Amino acid sequence: MDTTIYSALDNIAGVGRWEINIDGSMNLPEGITKVMIDTEMARLKRVNYGTEIQEAVQSHVDALAQSKRYDNMMSVRSYTGFPNKFQRECMSMSIWAGDCWAVVTDIEVAVMLGQRAIPTVQEVLKELPKYLGRE
């Protein structure tokens, strides 16, 4: 059984007593319906999915920074605000990272509007722009 159901039941039922029987049937507190549980489970899965996407995209942009010998994208951005030897390269990578996050936002909006199915993490990563080394 999907463990998300336990979190959903806790969130909905609060202090109410609930049980899941061996056969998969549920004993729910008064006023709690299966539709409420399904809705909460869907919400929790979206939250978990969103976290997976965020972590994957952040790892993706940090990997570029690390390939250029920076600690991460945050480190890259620290070189963008003042004249220095690394400013142009870091501006370029920062713009690219912003473009990546813009694509993620566009995907999320399209999913919420029902214009597309929820993509896998790998599908999202494939849709991100390639870094072209604009300096």
pLDDT digits (tens, 9 = 90+) for 34-65: 777 677 666 666 656 778 889 999 999 999 99
Rounded distance, CA 13 to CA 4, Å? 14
Rounded distance, CA 76 to CA 26, Å? 52
Res 7: pLDDT: 56
pLDDT digits (tens, 9 = 90+) for 51-100: 888 999 999 999 999 999 999 999 999 999 999 999 999 999 999 999 99
pLDDT digits (tens, 9 = 90+) for 9-39: 565 555 455 666 666 676 666 777 777 767 7
Structure tokens, 83: 């004249």
Asked whether the whole model's pTM tops 0.75, one would answer: no
Q: Where are the domains of the chain?
A: 4-127
- In the numeric block, the tokens 């976290």 are attached to 51
* H-only helix segments in the chain: 4-13, 34-67, 73-77, 87-112, 121-127
Neighbours of 133 (CB within 10 A): 11
